[in-house]
Amino acid sequence: VANINCYITQMLAASLGLKLFDVSRRILMYTKETDEYKRIYAVCRGTFPIHELCGTMTALLLARRDVVGDNLPQWKIIGPAVFLHAMANFRGMKPIFKWNSSTPWSEMQINRLKKDDNGYIWKQLIPQTYSKLVWMTILFRVFGFCIKNYYLVGRQAMKRTTTYSGKLYAFNAKLQTDAMLKKTKND
């Protein structure tokens, strides 16, 4: 296999399927007649790309192992996605005994905004902004990691099948040389 798109496509399909079932399960928990924010909750819950980023990271590391030939242990393939998903879960998770509550916005840490005496809502947003900016920065960095590695692994896979076709040892030597140069450049 010279193309890593099949890895990305399959993992994104699996991630979107998991996301669909997770969002559906969470929405179906809010079945009381007084629960009027189901649709807003579904849209807000669907905007966080946690499942997609985790699936893409795992697919890229699998492609690096299978297509490029890097020797990656299983924990290095699954570990970053598990860590990111755990951070997302602990960011907005409620204890198990409160899973069937009627406040879905508390899972995503979206507080209900109320106008104060002066009618200003923005005063409530300022204390919450820093943690949300940090979380968005983490998500954008992971997205950048995925884009960078998509092109890097794709180029390496193409070189392996075209330039270094039948020359596995030369390709492995090039990968090791690049890794050593990268380490000396960082030091």
* CA distances (Å), origin 133, targets 10, 86, 90: 31, 18, 17
Amino acid at 18: L
pLDDT digits (tens, 9 = 90+) for 19-54: 888 777 777 776 666 666 666 776 676 777 888 999
pLDDT of 97 strictly over 70 = no
What would the pLDDT profile of 59-86 be if each residue is shown by its tens digit?
999 998 888 878 889 999 999 999 998 8
By the 8 A CB rule, do 70 and 11 touch? no
Structure confidence at residue 122 as a pLDDT band (50, 70, 90): low
Q: How would you write 11-74 as a 3-class SS string?
A: HHHHHHHHHHHHHHHHHHCCCCCCCCCHHHHHHHHHHCCHHHHHHHHHHHHHHHHHHHCCCCCH
% of the chain exceeding 70 in pLDDT: 68
> CB-based contacts of 126: which residues, under 8 Å, 6+ apart?
none
Mean pLDDT of 138-156: 91
Q: What is the mean pLDDT of residues 138-145?
A: 93
- The pTM of this model reads 0.73
Q: Decide if pLDDT at 151 tops 80.
A: yes
Q: Which of 7-16, 139-148, 177-186 is least confident?
A: 177-186
Distance, in Å, from the CA atom of 27 to the CA atom of 42, rounded to the nearest integer, reads 7
pLDDT at 120: 57
Would you say how long the chain is, in residues? 187
Specify whether the CB–CB gap between 150 and 67 falls below 8 A.
Answer: no
Residue with tokens 């602990």: 90
